[in-house]
Amino acid sequence: MAAEDPSVSGVSGRYATALFELARDEKSVDVVKADLNRFAAMLADSPDLTRLVRSPVFSTDVQGKALTAVLDKSDISGITAKFLKVLTANRRLFAVTDVIRAYGALVATFKGEATADVTVAEALSDKNLDALKSALKSVSGKDVALNVKIDPSIIGGLVVKLGSRMVDSSLRTKLNSIKHAMKEAG
């Protein structure tokens, strides 16, 4: 399965594939995905945790003890906790964000879903999110999960990346193209 998806390759792809196969056998694919997403959110919110995960300065022992404390506090247990501890023991914890991304891609393929990265200037309402999901489903023929990122610098509109296709209808891009056209004309 890893060979079918270009985003699932290398060390992170091998670890994600092993975790996915174990989770599938244990019928806990969604539980593991939720735990990994929770861990990813903790990484995003904590520069100290990110430094612990990424820095080669910390020994395996130090990383392991700190990770155990973090997992206990966050109620991440079972397969996910054991897996994160294996990553730590194997000195591969630095790759955890890539492993989480690859695991998400494997789950999406398994469930027949697609994932779209959407960048907007401000948060979308539930009605607009549902409309966007419907539009993307009609284009891709699959259920689409959205990764929404808010970036006020795009001014307005949105940027959607679905697989290898990208649609950029942001005002920033339109203004830049007008600016470029005016430079060439002048």
pLDDT score for 3: 40
Q: For residue 93, what pLDDT band results from cuts at 50, 70 and 90?
A: very high
Query: pLDDT tens-digit profile of 97-111?
Result: 999 989 988 998 898
Nearby residues of 39 by Cβ (< 8 Å), 6 or more positions away:
74, 76, 80, 84, 96, 100
pLDDT score for 141: 87
Q: For residue 9, what pLDDT band results from cuts at 50, 70 and 90?
A: confident
Query: pLDDT tens-digit profile of 115-152?
Result: 889 999 999 999 999 999 999 999 888 888 888 999 99
pLDDT score for 98: 93
**Domain 2-108, what architecture?**
Orthogonal Bundle (1.10)
Longest pairwise C-alpha distance within the chain? 65
pLDDT score for 7: 56
Asked if 5 and 103 count as a contact pair (C-beta separation under 8 A), the reply is no
Q: Quick one: tokens of 60?
A: 């395996």
Is pLDDT at 1 greater than 80 in this prediction?
Answer: no
Q: For residue 4, what pLDDT band results from cuts at 50, 70 and 90?
A: very low
Q: Quick one: tokens of 3?
A: 């060979």
Q: What are phi and psi of 116, to 5 degrees?
A: -115, 135
In whole angstroms, give the CA distance from residue 5 to residue 43.
25
**Which residues is 103 bridged to in the sheet?**
none
Please report, for the chain, the start and end positions of each structural domain, with discontinuous segments joined by +. 2-108, 113-185
Rg (CA), the chain: 20
Q: What is the rounded average pLDDT of the residues 37-52?
A: 93
Per CATH, the number for 113-185 is: 3.40.30
In whole angstroms, give the CA distance from residue 16 to residue 10.
10
**Which pTM does this prediction carry?**
0.69
Q: What is the rounded average pLDDT of the residues 71-75?
A: 90
Is pLDDT at 6 greater than 80 in this prediction?
Answer: no
**Which residues is 158 bridged to in the sheet?**
120
The rounded percent of the chain whose pLDDT value lies above 70 is 95
Asked if 32 and 19 count as a contact pair (C-beta separation under 8 A), the reply is yes
